[in-house]
Structure 1
Amino acid sequence: MLFPMLETRSILARAALCATLAAFASFAFPAKAAPADGRQQFAALGECKLDSGQQIKDCRLGYRTWGHLNAGSSNAVLFPTWFTGTSGQIAGNIGAGKLVDPARYFVIAVDALGDGVSSSPSNSKSQPRMQFPAFTTRDMVRAEYRLATETLHLKHLHAVMGISMGGMQTFEWMVDYPDFMDLAIPIVGSTRLTSYDLLLWHSEEDAVRADPGWHAGNYEKSPAMPQVAILHEMNVSTPSYYAREVSRAAFAERYKSYGASGASEFDANDRIYQLEAMIRHDIARGGSMEEVARRVHAKVLVVPSQQDHMVNPGPALEFAKLLGAKVFLLTSDCGHQAPGCEADKLNPAVGAFLDGK
């Protein structure tokens, strides 16, 4: 969920402290990126109706694009953000040899609701802070579908892919809009959270609410929330990875850093809302996964991490079995950060799948 995990290990470490974790057929377009590639843009969607029956007023969705749409409009790849991530951070995964090559694909990175760029508790003028209506991962996807169809005027996507909470949204996409994409690639995502996942996300939310600087959401500056950062760091990798990367001699300084910066780079209220969206995430809405699987028409590549302590791989693997989907299992002790640690293997595998190979 949770961070720009495919850039470098140092970036991964910073992302874990502050917020979370993170290739196709040739087209007749120049490899050189257009000057506007990666520019922050916004789609004005008016009112976004939510599963709760409420609505987000003056709903805006942030997004960035790279590459060019081909003549047949058949090369678009939509890439929603992870937990606490932004479309700007997805930029590290776009390029030759990375997850998606914009010389071959039209890539759309979308800021999920509540990330502080798209409509969020932290930036809403009419529904500020804890007055913001609760939303779900399904609501995120519904807004993203409107961006694709109403703003970008797309009738079809080549693929939807996402990391962590972006992987959760990818699972939602393949169920709610089964004929809108050819391929779906959920990376370290889940169809619904296990009890162990819920233990982590509930504890993070409780830690935010218990922080003395939170003030029931009424603060001038988002509190540091060091306990949130510690909980996150403990689960974003594995014990063996942490012990190897942070020596005993370096531990005191690392621990001190949690108190200094904590998880404050991402707004506390936004964090609560995205946490609750993940907690409620369930593509079967409490029903049968077997029934839901029959609704999926896209070809699917499921990418779980065997040692993931943040998003348990079990539900994704079980759904892959129901679909008869391809699985690319990450096995390193990097845990939820495995897509970054194993990028040299993952990126070519994703590229080949996008290429139809």
Structure 2
Amino acid sequence: MADHEIFALGDFVLQRGATLRDAALAYKTFGKLNAKRDNVIVYPTWYSGQHIDNEWLVGKGMALDPARYFIVIPNMFGNGLSSSPSNTPEPYNASRFPQVTAYDNVRAQHRLMTEKFGVEQIRLVTGWSMGALQTFHWGAMYPDMVERIAPFCGSSKCSRHNFVFLEGVKAALTADAAWNNGWYEKKPERGLRAMARVYAGWGFSQAFYRQELDLKTLGYSSLEDFLVSFWEGFFLPKDANNLLTMLWTWQNGNISDNDLYKGDLKKALKAIKAKAYVMPGRTDLYFPPEDSEFEVASMPNARLVPFESVWGHFAGGPGTSKDDVKFLDGKLKELLAS
């Protein structure tokens, strides 16, 4: 039994010009929508993640408490549940799946919230990593609808350095002969394992490895055990075309890349009216605090709230560091109460 629902988008015209016919947006909800329809939290997914990978931040007594809020977790295009290379029929199947932007994802999510649930105001949008990218998009695309945003360990635009890192990930995956330009008959296992090894050097900080937290806190028996069990185990179950679709979305993430802002990033940031806690990880190698400082300086109602953590990008998820989860939950409670 599926633990999620599907919102039918019909023929969904994408920002880059292609049309996803019979497009599907998968989502899961927690709690109940109140009579005023004003207790809504939107919590988008992240690179390769599905709604179940977000559920660690939802629970009784937490900021995202289903007893108080109606929490909607929409799945990104390309993650295997919403329209993706792995579930789209010919001719847009596999490596023919079209280019999808974060703008496309948030437009689809806006339709879900307005057409399915009749929502006009959103109490909070929050998300980790690519979920943060979508959070920034919500604030810039629908400034009169979104009251608060809390993007954590993510950015409003993919930086040049981040783009280069992702080129390495892509090269590792597609170097596998089994890849066959996306028309693989069996999964490109070597490519997925190589991709995982590239990721392993970036997901956690130098201090995390120096302090041997993979052994002392996460309980792996050796560094190699961590690389194989945690990292290779993380990517091997995933579809390669799906991963590359979401990677393209990540590399082309930019809240100003649309007709609203025409490439003017500062203008897009200034348009975000929501009260914002922008939450970078102090040791995040993908999204350093300097990028967040620029964003906050350009936003009218934003505060920089960094994770003082050695867990790198994983300070923000998916529920890996207990101290960072506690910090994040406390700040979300503070923001919601403001």
Q: When the two structures are superposed, what TM-score results if normalisation uses the length of structure 1?
A: 0.84
Report the equivalent of 2:76: 112
Query: 1:135-188: per-residue Cα shift (whole Å, max 9, x none)?
Result: 111111111111111222222211111111000001111111111111111111
Aligned residues: 320
Q: Which residue of 2 aligns with 1:22?
A: none
Q: Which residue is 1:299 aligned to? A: 275
Deviation at 1:58, TM superposition (A): 1.0
Q: Does 1:39 align with 2:11?
A: no
Give the drift of 1:40: 0.7
User: For the residues of structure 1 that align with 2:250 and 2:289, how far apart are their CA atoms?
Assistant: 15
For 2:242, give the aligned amino acid.
D
Identity of aligned residues (%): 29
Report the counterpart of residue 337 of structure 1 in structure 2: 314
Once the 2 structures are TM-superposed, how far is the Cα of residue 132 of structure 1 from its aligned partner? 1.0
1:56 aligns with 2:20: yes
Which residue is 2:204 aligned to?
237
Q: Distance in 2 between matches of 1:214 and 1:164?
A: 27
Q: 1:348 matched to which residue of 2?
A: 330
1:121-132 pair list within 5 angstroms? 121-126=85-90, 127-132=92-97
DSSP 3-state at the match of 2:336: helix
Q: Residue 284 of structure 2 aligns to which amino acid in structure 1?
A: D
**Contact 1:226-1:258 at 8 Å conserved across structures:** no
In the other structure, the counterpart of 1:81 is: 45
Shift of 1:293: 2.4
Counterpart check, 1:209 vs 2:174 = yes
- Counterpart-to-counterpart distance in 1, 2:157 and 2:11: 27
CA-CA distance at 1:96 after TM superposition: 2.3
Q: Is the 8 A contact 1:196 1:312 kept in 2?
A: no
1:77-120 C-alpha deviation (Å, 9 max, x unpaired): 01110110101221221112444111110000010111000000
Tell whether the 8 Å contact from 1:228 to 1:262 is kept in structure 2 after alignment: no
Matched-pair contact (CA < 8 Å) for 2:154–2:280: yes
Alpha carbons 1:160, 1:185 under 8 Å: kept: yes
How far residue 246 of structure 1 moved from its aligned partner, in angstroms, is: 3.9
Higher relative contact order (CA 8 A, sep 6+): 1
Q: Residue 130 of structure 1: CA displacement? A: 1.0
Q: Deviations over 1:173-226 (max 9, x none)?
A: 111111111111111110112222112111111212112221211123432211
C-alpha contact (below 8 Å) 1:46/1:58 kept by paired residues: yes
In structure 2, relative to structure 1, the CA distance for the partners of 1:265 and 1:72 (3 Å cut) is same
Deviation at 1:289, TM superposition (A): 2.6
Kindly tell me: are residues 252 and 236 of structure 1, through their superposed partners in 2, closer, same or farther at Cα, counting changes over 3 Å? closer
Instruction: State the TM-score, normalizing by the size of structure 2.
Output: 0.89
Unpaired stretches in structure 2, ≥5 consecutive residues: none
- Counterpart Cα distance in 2 of 1:47 and 1:198: 30
**Partner of 1:80: helix, strand, or coil?**
coil
Alignment of 1:1-357 (within 5 A): 39-126=3-90, 127-224=92-189, 225-243=192-210, 244-246=212-214, 250-257=222-229, 261=233, 263-285=235-257, 287-324=263-300, 325-339=302-316, 340=319, 341=321, 342-356=324-338
Preserved contact between residue 200 and residue 227 of structure 2 (Cα < 8 Å): no
State the Cα distance separating 1:314 from its structure 2 match.
2.6
For residues 213 and 259 of structure 1, what CA distance do their matches in structure 2 show? 20
Deviations 1:297-334 (A, max 9, x none): 21111111111012333322211121141221112110
Specify the code of the residue in structure 2 equivalent to 1:76. V
Change (3 A) 1:150 1:210: same
Give the superposition deviation at 1:235. 0.5
Relative distance call for 1:231 and 1:145 in structure 2 (3 A) is same
Q: Specify the code of the residue in structure 2 equivalent to 1:86.
A: Q
Alignment root-mean-square deviation, CA: 2.1
